[in-house]
Structure 1
Amino acid sequence: MKRHVLIIMLLITGQTYAQSITFKGDSIFTNKSNLSITVSLQQPLIDYLKQLAPNQDSLEKKGNYQFSFYIDNHLIYHTELWPGYPDPNEQSWSKPLIDYNHEGAYWSQFAWYRFMKNGGDSALTEGPHTLKIELRPYVKAPDLNIGEIIAEGQFHLNVKRTGSATPLPLAKVLPYKDLPVSHEYFDTTRIMQLKGEIEAGVFRHITSVVAIKNNKILFEEYFDNSGRDSLHDVRSVGKTFAAALTGLAIRDGYLKSENQSLGEFYHLPQEKAAITLKQLLTMSAPFDGDDNDEHSPGNEENMYPTDNWVDFTLNLPVDTNKYHGQWHYFTAGVMLLGSTLDKIIPGGLEKYADKNLFAPLHITNYQWQYTPQHAPNTAGGIRLKSLDFAKFGLCYANKKIIPAKWVEKSLSHQLPITGRKDEYYGYLFWNKKYGQYETYYCSGNGGNKIFIFKDLVIVITATAYNMPYAHGQVDKMMEHYILPAIY
């Protein structure tokens, strides 16, 4: 692929200087292209910030660059970078905007992701375009004050992102433990096109797609050097294993019901003692914890550095004004559920899960991650083969191994999901519809999914961790390829 470097003069406070922005990337812009930028300024950013706010101190904590992205001289998006990166004392710096094989490694990539999500993707239609970036200093103390342009540059792109994916032949399906090969009809042409688009990077960092129809393997495809024996880190998909094991623990008498309260297992003040296991299963406990709020005391990122995650969770404040029965995404609560099971089940949760869940499914190769107290980490991260994740999904689809009544409770509209229309939450299951097809599903960072339909289980594994497109691209795969091919 032809590559070029473009040197562009910078416009600095209305005058032309011999400073430069250097773009380095692919002249043909595809889904797997890379693009980096080198910026040289007349003076360090901190000096521009001082000019904007001469009476303010600690400006490195109050300001940074504003990026403005243009396509063909039309402003598409602008964003103020969080203070801290790049170093405001630097006069020049280089960073990737796109690095296909190392996504999410740098702040600059997230600026590009935001641009693409907020109009850039639709603006970059097939054919030639000019990308322009303008840099301005800003200070927010407390009002937003934006300076003049201190750098700008252009880069010519010849976009070829659609229509270039070649349909690829599907892999031969072989039997797997307890899963014979299906001979039911499906639209192979559509799945071949999907396979080609995954390989071409239209759908990014997908590692497997598996479909089980009526308990038989319909198709099974692997990508990015993964295969049938690969163990996939599906992040929060693993939360649903805590729900399954809770149901089994009730079946076996270790729990009376999900309505038991934390006060039966821990010494707690009354307001915390009254919180039930069901509230942990439905993410509706009044602990002040919300992973979607970076300022929340119980955000999972605050838990991980501590040396006792159970104590961290139980010591969180309770806020019944903010949380009064509604759903809020609370990873620490699911960790607490699993650690409670580990506490009350003789021999611990790991041995119990192996005997009562994995052994009946003939799953022998899997990996837990652990809490600092060495309990299986039900916050997420359990690793299995794709077909073994499908067998876990079949426990619910077939109401086998896991008690039928528990499956019915798990796959029900326990609560509406806050901020999402016509979507619901069960017992650590998500719920929505793709058109006429309703699904309950497990979901994890990066676009990892186990979808359960009436006669169908779909597993998609991916490594697009923390990428803003990760879940949306899976929706497109389901809506435009997988479901139309099968139904």
Structure 2
Amino acid sequence: MKSNYYLALIACLIISCNTINSSPKKNSQTKEIENLYFSKIDFKKNKPTSDNYSNSFTLNKDEFLNIHFTLDKPLIESLKLLAPNLTQDQLLNKGNFQFSFLVDGEIIYVENLNKGAGTIDSKTTQLKHMIPLVYPKQIDFWGWFMWLKFMKLGGGQDVLAEGNHSLSIEVRPYIKEETLKVGTILAKGNITVEVAKILVDETLIPVQKIQPNSGWELSKDNFNSPKIEALNRKIAEKRFENINGVVVIKENKLLIEEYFNGENRNSLHDSRSVGKSLASTMLGIAIEENHIKSENTLLKDFYELKSFNNYSKKKDSITLKSLLTMSSGFLGDDSDYSSPGNEENMYPTNNWVKFSLNLPMQKDKTIGKDFTYFTAGVVILGDVIHKSVPEGLVSYADKKLFAPLDITNYKWQYTPQKVGNTAGGIQLRAIDFAKYGQLYKNKGKWNGKQIITEKWVEKSLSKQVSQAYAGIEGGYYGYLFWNKTYTVNGKNHQVSFCSGRGGNKIFIFKDIPFVVVITSSAYNNPSAHSNADKMMIEYILPAIIEKE
């Protein structure tokens, strides 16, 4: 369910995500220093020497790229100059190297390495540094992730799309206290980059014809085919990696259905946390059928909380609603790998519910108000539903949700207690994920039958909790649904959506008549979610809104 690489990936992302606004200013020293070199050898098989240095690199062809630089003094000495009042431990906690990537003289991406990047020795004693950037497969090294972020998140692959370019890398020290302090250049070098054309199978580019027996009425509306073909080309070029399916529903009719990378209509897709939203659906149905009183029911009505570890009076105030809105106050944060309740700590245990209920509470969090992404809380919800409805969660979901939607081809994953895994363990076909999204677009109605109450749909898709506490500017969360706004050609389009690792999405638009599904298996790719956004903003939405 999780990759071992994800720990390293998150560590690299923590600080760098907000550093582009702190781009270094050019100074006279920029021209004087030239002590960073590039090589194109496999560092795992050969020890690089100065004889291996290269002044050119062919992007999309050369498999390896490393950088080498030697400092006059260890990094820690440069950090002391920036903050002489701090101890060594404080310096290493608040500072590291800053890397700036310049293409043709323009700063494209800046990353302030987080404290976990690099060993203590590499910062306190090491002078010679060798950092792999490009490698033909994923490696557990912060330099590899940094290059990936430069290319995928920082705009590198957009400016290095074709032709020949100059790539420069500058290395500085930085300290981040209340403000960001950046020192002078420690190392700088450049290399000529030639962009090799990516050869693609041209048969993958045209819009795919919708095959019969989809289970949907086909839309007769037009859309901007060249836009979709441009998207298909980017997918074929792996500009958008590991995309498996794109389905667009317009006014209850199938408009676009496309599959990539070996998947087809009958492929069951692992959408990861998209499955969390189904816990919200089933809770709403269980409440409507009086198996559970309401979402305001207290957690203590289902469990003897005093029998679990770390009991406090605060736990008695946890509601099902606070679990739905990721605001329960448990000491669990999936974005923080040091958090006791991080989901990675839950999966190896033999009882996920017990693990979750044993967690202490966060004293500084207000139940029902402060958002923290907490997968273990959704596992608790699944268990609550399972023990409250006839024949358990899986049987209940089949009868009350999947059967009415005529979804027969699906697969659950299970918790150690053999309960359907609401953390994100259900696989459906992309076209059936579209049915689920359209059900919400229809305000809970399918083929004239009210499957979910309109009131529950409204609550689920609304802005229940601000995500400002979690550092997500302008973000809101509903009942296990996200909310955001896409801007296309100056017009804002509000959307509620399900979201899962790897870039999996079900978009339910509020002001335009569309449901869009993207299935993807880019599970360890830091650009997976941003790729989905880029696909929507630059290709899919313009194609279906503007038409031809």
Q: TM-score range by the shorter chain?
A: 0.7 to 0.9
Q: Quote the offset at 1:480 in angstroms.
A: 2.3
Q: For residues 425-452 of structure 1, what are the alpha-carbon distances to aligned partners after superposition, in whole Å with 9 as ceiling and x for unaligned?
A: 2111112222332211101122110011
In the other structure, the counterpart of 1:113 is 148
SS in 2 for 1:436: strand
Q: Quote the offset at 1:371 in angstroms.
A: 2.0
SS in 1 for 2:411: coil
SS in 2 for 1:237: helix
Q: Distance in 1 between matches of 2:317 and 2:51?
A: 63
Conservation of the 8 A alpha-carbon contact between 2:170 and 2:185: no
Residue 425, structure 1, aligned to residue 477, structure 2: yes
Share of identical aligned residues, percent?
46
In the other structure, the counterpart of 1:77 is 110
In the other structure, the counterpart of 2:322 is 279
In the other structure, the counterpart of 2:501 is 445
Aligned partner of 2:408 among 364, 387, 391: 364
Q: Distance in 2 between matches of 1:372 and 1:218?
A: 40
In the other structure, the counterpart of 1:472 is 530
SS in 2 for 1:312: helix
Aligned partner of 2:238 among 191, 201, 206: 201
Conservation of the 8 A alpha-carbon contact between 1:21 and 1:152: no
Alignment of 1:312-331 (within 5 A): 312-324=355-367, 325-331=369-375
Q: Cα gap change, 1:482/1:125 in structure 2, threshold over 3 Å: closer, same or farther?
A: closer
Q: Cα gap change, 1:91/1:423 in structure 2, threshold over 3 Å: closer, same or farther?
A: closer
Q: Distance in 1 between matches of 2:232 and 2:485?
A: 24
Letter in 2 for 1:248: I
Alignment of 1:20-39 (within 5 A): 27=58, 29=59, 35-38=63-66
Q: For residues 313-369 of structure 1, what are the alpha-carbon distances to aligned partners after superposition, in whole Å with 9 as ceiling and x for unaligned?
A: 112221242335122222111121112212333432122222222222222222222
Letter in 2 for 1:128: N
Alignment of 1:339-354 (within 5 A): 339-354=383-398
Residue 129, structure 1, aligned to residue 177, structure 2: no
Q: Cα gap change, 1:23/1:316 in structure 2, threshold over 3 Å: closer, same or farther?
A: farther
Q: Quote the offset at 1:123 in angstroms.
A: 5.4
Q: Cα gap change, 1:450/1:105 in structure 2, threshold over 3 Å: closer, same or farther?
A: farther
Aligned pairs, number: 466
Q: For residues 190-234 of structure 1, what are the alpha-carbon distances to aligned partners after superposition, in whole Å with 9 as ceiling and x for unaligned?
A: 222222222122322211110111222111111111111111111
Q: For residues 371-416 of structure 1, what are the alpha-carbon distances to aligned partners after superposition, in whole Å with 9 as ceiling and x for unaligned?
A: 2222221111321110011111122122222222221221222222
Q: Distance in 2 between matches of 1:271 and 1:18?
A: 61
Q: For residues 279-320 of structure 1, what are the alpha-carbon distances to aligned partners after superposition, in whole Å with 9 as ceiling and x for unaligned?
A: 111111111222233333322223223332212211222124
In the other structure, the counterpart of 2:349 is 306
Conservation of the 8 A alpha-carbon contact between 2:246 and 2:519: yes
Q: Quote the offset at 1:422 in angstroms.
A: 4.4
Q: Distance in 1 between matches of 2:99 and 2:456?
A: 51
Residue 391, structure 1, aligned to residue 391, structure 2: no
Q: Distance in 1 between matches of 2:473 and 2:49?
A: 53
Q: Cα gap change, 1:326/1:21 in structure 2, threshold over 3 Å: closer, same or farther?
A: farther
Residue 409, structure 1, aligned to residue 459, structure 2: yes
Alignment of 1:42-191 (within 5 A): 69-72=101-104, 76-80=109-113, 95=132, 97=134, 99=136, 102=137, 106-116=141-151, 117-118=153-154, 120=156, 124=160, 126-133=162-169, 154-159=190-195, 168-176=205-213, 178-191=215-228
Q: Distance in 1 between matches of 2:421 and 2:302?
A: 18
SS in 1 for 2:412: coil
Q: Quote the offset at 1:25 in angstroms.
A: 9.6
SS in 2 for 1:377: coil
Aligned partner of 2:335 among 285, 292, 311: 292
